[in-house]
Amino acid sequence: MVARYFAYGSNMNPDRVRDRGILFCDAVSATFSGVSLAFDKASSKHPGVGHANVVYDPAGAVEGVLYLLDSATEITKMDPFESTPRNYSREIVHVSTHQGELTAWTYFANPAVRREGLIPPRSYLQHLLAGEPFLSVEYFAMLNEWPCEESR
């Protein structure tokens, strides 16, 4: 069973993952190819606000944090935070690391909760930026320049 979790959104912040009670023994840089980052998962609490998602893009690649979980069952603790299966589905993907290609769990926004034209709030984007030690300089700069809503 897979005991790794690839985070590309707010869970790139290791403190957030710890606060959620997910136990992991290591975190490394990883890239998920064939997708692009989008903020098209509609917030259920704030109209116009988008949360992170990955969408199919054969030329794309999303950088993130790969957590080595303490056990294969740790990932189930993340499901309530991702409102799985209602808002996000959890699936196994292949990511690239300095150790080569590895399998990991990640989350995809369900089509019923995706909307165009959404932007993340600055407070949410800050969690992605907390993943800076795991990201390339270019990817971090792209995230830092992402349009966001300053008031939330």
Please give the pLDDT value at position 46. Answer: 84
Residue 8: both structure tokens together: 């590309």
* Cβ neighbours for 88, distance < 8 A, ≥ 6 positions apart: 41, 82, 107, 108, 109, 110
Domains of the chain as residue ranges with CATH? 4-144 (3.10.490.10)
Q: How confident is the model at residue 1 (pLDDT cuts 50, 70, 90)?
A: confident
Write down the H helix ranges in 86-130: 122-129
Per residue in 78-123, pLDDT (tens digit) is 999 999 999 999 999 999 999 999 999 999 999 999 999 999 999 9
Residue 136 in this model has a pLDDT that exceeds 60 = yes
Helices 137-144 and 122-129 pack at an angle, to 10 degrees, of 170
Res 151: pLDDT: 65
Query: Alpha-carbon distance 47 to 137, whole Å?
Result: 32
Q: For 31-80, write each residue's pLDDT tens digit.
A: 999 999 999 999 888 888 999 999 999 999 999 999 999 999 999 999 99
What's the predicted TM-score (pTM) here?
0.95
